[in-house]
């Protein structure tokens, strides 16, 4: 271990300790879970101004004591996507990675024990950490209470109160080299000379200042050094553009104002907050990556949409809220949540977690009123690590953090969470920023969650076995992998027959976003940096493809419509494409497949999470960050959609038939309409999973309609379409002039059906 100026160590094997008092902490959220210093499961405690302690909860041991601070860098903290929090300052004490934490010696044997972290309690500004150790077929229960206290003007003491229960008779247990009293209390005190708080070093996420600003600006959200992702690689940009002064001026303008059309359909987000000087420095660095013998690179054009945008809902995104809902604001202007997860408590409170620097759980009362003056908002927990899943079971609150499933408990019933109990932290994690844990669904006594892949591995590294999988977790903390071959499945929810569906995000080995019916032991195609792990696996196709930038980009949570015209169908939020999409599913030969429609826009941010309220309203939570993950630069939002019964004229369903498709409408077609081939445009294409980021439409072709049959009630139209192929997406665009029998225009006229199999 590395130690600063250690004055003394006192070990008291008994209950003698200084008089207790309720300490003051420098921040309201002084205990935080996160990655720290490239360790994935950490707990950082700001116990005094500029004086910290950090615990490695994977080892269940003290990691570091220091004077200084933490650079809270990372996507959730300050929008720097590729990095994670790090400590800065002067250490008093630091455990090195190879050191043993827990060691036991019995009469005839000894061992280094693997502890289990069980969470922590916070009461009266004091924290108590809890662990268990398995030895000789029994559990040893450990609790630890750490704190700093002053010892005169020039020295201080770090005190740990360790309580132990269940050590077998004759055994001796030690913690980081300190012997512990069996079935009793041990007080460990380490005295240090006070260290002045050092000056904070320059806050740089990389050694090169221009690289640092690429991190800070959000550019690395969409661009990498050599690999094309959402946008072109920096190397490709350098190869394309020379040092021409006019070109450089145009590039500066494009970074500042945004734009598109050069590298594909995805527009570059504007960056009005960046100073022109910083943009110029970043561009100079990017263009310096040109080879000396550079000739401007030519880029093969991507396939473009056959259909040119006509108006909202017909080749272009909708612009308004779906007519069947009235939109209500339910957050005051000061409350700006980046919503990570939402659920309702049986007492009527809306609970939501935030994906931000606080990692909070909020409780909102009075949301059913739709009046922000009657709504109260209370932060009841904080310090959670990027919580993207939340589920209330009976009255118990469960949160999926980045590295664990936790139960949050209000022990003293004062409305504030006192205990953060670990339910499951057995799944594999690295410090990679993109190893998100997405969720949370609950069915038949089990939780279901998705574990995202690491996205910044070195070329020789492979993914941990749990990454890119869906897992099932029991209340006892045991978990199992359900399915593999997933990438970043941000959305999960229950669909028809309470089956579980997930929403996958486009990327490597995922040519477009998709809705997947989650089935045990299935493989869903993504094998990004997995070596030969999935060699020979047969890919299960998605239930629904979400063609990129047409109807999908970053799908979020799925939720089932329980009643009304759309009962049984799924809605899902969209973070980057924006709004809410609607999915109709049918079973063909025992497997789900279906169609996606445009449904609603007009909301204040890209939608990450959805939940039905006890009042029958749909609550929508927004999220975003700089770069290209977000809708129109919006980063937060919380609104309420109240059903009003005003169902618009639109397609209700599209169903596969042996020789075509059937289109069902929400209202009868007007007489004489929908009977001509010119009322419909149909084309098809397929996708193929490859190592590249995303993928083009393949074998794209327009299809001709042979016959049209309108049902007697004029709600259904059967289209006989020769040449439709299994394994293809069938795109349908209606004539925007079609009307209902009451003269209502179409709300939207596009559908994307995934024809995995014909009936």
Q: How far is CA 532 from CA 76, 460, 665, 688, 694, in A?
A: 33, 13, 47, 19, 21
- pLDDT for 376 equals 97
pLDDT above 70 coverage of the chain, percent: 91
Neighbours of 373 (CB within 10 A): 7
**pLDDT value at residue 532:** 96
Intra-chain end-to-end CA distance of the chain, in Å: 67
**Strand, coil or helix: what is 757?**
coil
Q: Percent of the chain having pLDDT more than 90?
A: 76
pLDDT digits (tens, 9 = 90+) for 471-526: 999 999 999 999 999 999 999 999 999 999 999 999 999 999 999 999 999 999 99
pLDDT of residue 554: 96
Residue range 308-341, pLDDT digits in tens? 777 999 999 999 999 999 999 999 999 999 999 9
> DSSP letter at 498?
G
pLDDT at position 651 is 98
Lowest mean pLDDT of 107-121, 405-419, 467-481, 653-667, name the range.
107-121
Question: Tokens 């931000």 appear where?
Answer: 356
Contact in structure between 674 and 717 (CB atoms under 8 Å): yes
Given this model, what pLDDT does residue 433 score?
92
Distance, CA of 691 to CA of 382 (rounded, Å): 39
CA distances from 441 to 162, 341, 391 (A): 37, 11, 7
Q: What is the DSSP letter of 552?
A: B
Q: What's the burial of 126, exposed, middle or buried (CB within 10 Å: 0-12/13-18/19+)?
A: middle
Read off the DSSP letter of residue 1. -
Confidence of residue 534 (pLDDT cuts 50, 70, 90): very high
Q: Kindly report the CA angle at 128 between 127 and 129, in degrees rounded to 5?
A: 120
| Residue among 247, 255, 244, 260 nearest 277 (CA) | 255
Rounded mean pLDDT of 233-256? 78
708-747 tens-digit pLDDT: 999 999 999 999 999 999 999 999 999 999 999 999 999 9
pLDDT in tens, 260-277: 666 765 667 777 777 787
Tokens describing residue 60: 């269940």
The CA R_g of the chain, rounded to the nearest whole Å, is: 28
Confidence of residue 299 (pLDDT cuts 50, 70, 90): very low
The predicted structure's pLDDT at residue 301: 43
pLDDT of residue 15: 57
Task: Tell me which residue has tokens 């349908």.
Answer: 732
Give the integer Cα–Cα distance in Å for 282 and 217.
10
Distance CA 406, CA 414 (A): 20
Of 220-229, 378-387, 425-434, 647-656, least confident by mean pLDDT is 220-229
- Is 442 a residue whose pLDDT tops 50? yes
CA dihedral sign, ordered 198, 200, 205, 209: negative
Q: Which residue(s) pair with 409 in the sheet?
A: 419
Quick check: 506 and 548 in contact, CB under 8 A? yes
- Structure token pair of residue 466: 């749990």
Q: Are 507 and 524 in contact (CB under 8 A)?
A: no
The larger pLDDT score, comparing residue 217 to residue 622, is at 622
- Residue range 411-437: average pLDDT? 96
pTM of the model: 0.90
Is residue 706 over pLDDT 90?
A: yes
CB 578 within 8 A of CB 600: no
> What is the predicted pLDDT for the residue at 207?
44
pLDDT of 360 over the 80 cut: yes
- The mean pLDDT of the chain is 91
Backbone dihedral angles phi then psi of residue 76, each to the nearest 5 degrees: -75, -25
Per-state percent for the chain, helix, strand, coil, to nearest 5:
10, 45, 50
Confidence bin at 295 (pLDDT 50/70/90) = very low
Task: Give the model's pLDDT for residue 3.
Answer: 63
Structure token pair of residue 157: 């003491």
The pLDDT of residue 346 is 97
Grade residue 302 by pLDDT with cuts at 50, 70 and 90: very low
Residue with the larger pLDDT of the pair 615 and 304: 615
Q: Which of 224-233, 392-401, 628-637 has the lowest mean pLDDT?
A: 224-233
Whole-angstrom distance, CA of residue 437 vs CA of residue 389: 8
Per residue, the 3-state secondary structure of 676-744, as one string, reads: CHHHEEEEEEECCCCCCECCCCEEEEEECCCEEEECCCCCEEEEECCCCCCCEEEEEEECCCCEECCCC
Sign (positive/negative) of CA torsion 328, 330, 336, 340? negative
């Amino acid at each position: 271990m590395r130690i600063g100026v250690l004055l003394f160590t006192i070990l008291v094997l008994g209950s003698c300790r200084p008089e207790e008092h309720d300490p003051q902490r420098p921040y309201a959220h002084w205990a935080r879970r996160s990655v720290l210093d490239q360790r994935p499961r950490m707990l950082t405690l700001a116990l005094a101004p500029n004086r910290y302690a950090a615990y490695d909860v994977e080892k269940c041991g003290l990691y570091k004591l220091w004077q200084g601070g933490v650079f809270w860098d990372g996507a959730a903290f300050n929008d720097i996507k590729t990095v994670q929090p790090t400590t800065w300052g002067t250490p008093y004490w630091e455990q090195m990675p190879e050191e043993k934490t827990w060691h036991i010696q019995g009469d005839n044997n000894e061992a280094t024990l693997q502890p289990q972290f069980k969470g922590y309690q916070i009461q009266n500004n004091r924290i108590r950490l809890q662990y268990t150790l398995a030895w000789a077929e029994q559990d040893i229960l450990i609790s630890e209470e750490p704190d700093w206290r002053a010892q005169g003007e020039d020295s201080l003491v770090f005190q740990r109160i360790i309580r132990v229960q269940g050590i077998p008779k004759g055994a001796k247990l030690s913690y980081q080299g300190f012997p512990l009293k069996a079935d009793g209390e041990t007080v460990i005190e380490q005295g240090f000379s006070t260290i002045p708080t050092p000056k904070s070093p320059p806050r740089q996420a990389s050694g090169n200042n221009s690289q640092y600003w690429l991190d800070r600006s959000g550019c690395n959200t969409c661009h990498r050094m050599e690999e094309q992702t959402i946008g072109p690689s920096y190397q490709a940009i350098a190869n394309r553009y020379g040092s021409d002064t006019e070109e450089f001026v145009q590039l500066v303008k494009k970074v500042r104002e945004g734009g598109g059309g050069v590298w594909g359909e995805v527009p570059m987000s504007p960056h009005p907050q960046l100073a022109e000087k910083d943009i110029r420095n970043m561009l100079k660095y990017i263009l310096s990556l040109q080879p000396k013998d550079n000739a401007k690179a030519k880029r093969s054009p991507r396939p473009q949409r056959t259909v040119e945008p006509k108006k909202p809902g017909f080749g272009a995104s909708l612009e308004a809220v779906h007519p069947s809902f009235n939109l209500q604001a339910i957050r005051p202007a000061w409350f700006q949540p980046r919503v990570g997860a939402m659920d309702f408590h049986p007492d009527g409170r809306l609970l939501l977690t935030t994906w931000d620097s606080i990692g909070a759980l909020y409780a909102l009362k009075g949301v059913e009123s739709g009046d922000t003056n009657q709504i109260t908002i209370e932060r009841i927990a904080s310090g959670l690590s990027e919580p993207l899943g939340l589920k209330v079971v009976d009255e118990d609150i469960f949160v999926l953090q980045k590295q664990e499933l936790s139960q949050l408990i209000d022990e003293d019933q004062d409305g504030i969470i006192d205990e953060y109990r670990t339910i499951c932290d057995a799944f594999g994690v690295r410090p990679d920023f993109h190893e998100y844990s997405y969720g949370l669904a609950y069915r038949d006594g089990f939780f279901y969650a998705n574990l995202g892949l690491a996205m910044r591995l070195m070329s020789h590294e492979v993914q941990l076995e749990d990454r890119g999988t869906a897992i099932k977790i029991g209340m006892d903390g045991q978990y199992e992998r359900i399915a593999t071959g997933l990438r970043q499945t941000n959305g999960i929810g229950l669909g028809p027959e309470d089956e579980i569906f997930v929403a996958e995000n486009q990327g490597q080995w995922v040519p477009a976003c998709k809705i997947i019916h989650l089935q045990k032991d299935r493989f869903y195609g993504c094998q990004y940096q997995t070596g030969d792990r999935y060699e020979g696996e047969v890919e299960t196709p998605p239930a629904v493809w979400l063609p990129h930038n047409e109807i999908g980009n970053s799908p979020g949570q799925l939720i089932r419509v329980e009643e009304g015209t759309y009962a049984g169908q799924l809605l899902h939020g969209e973070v980057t494409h924006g709004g809410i999409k609607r999915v109709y599913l049918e079973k063909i030969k025992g497997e789900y497949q279906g169609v996606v429609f445009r449904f609603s826009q007009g909301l204040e941010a890209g939608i990450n999470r959805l939940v039905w309220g006890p009042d029958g309203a749909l609550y929508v939570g927004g999220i975003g960050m700089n770069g290209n993950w977000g809708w129109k630069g919006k980063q937060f939002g919380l609104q309420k959609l109240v059903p009003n019964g005003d169902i618009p004229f639109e397609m209700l369903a599209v169903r596969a038939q042996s020789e075509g498709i059937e289109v069902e409408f929400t209202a009868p077609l007007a007489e004489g309409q929908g009977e001509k081939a010119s009322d419909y445009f149909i084309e098809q294409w397929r996708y193929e999973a490859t190592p590249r980021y995303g993928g083009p439409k393949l074998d794209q072709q327009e299809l001709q309609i042979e016959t049209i049959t309108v049902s007697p009630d004029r709600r259904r139209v059967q289209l006989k379409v020769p040449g439709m192929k299994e394994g293809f997406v069938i795109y349908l665009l209606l004539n925007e002039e079609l009307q209902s029998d009451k003269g209502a225009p179409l709300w939207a006229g596009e559908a994307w059906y995934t024809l995995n199999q014909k009936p």
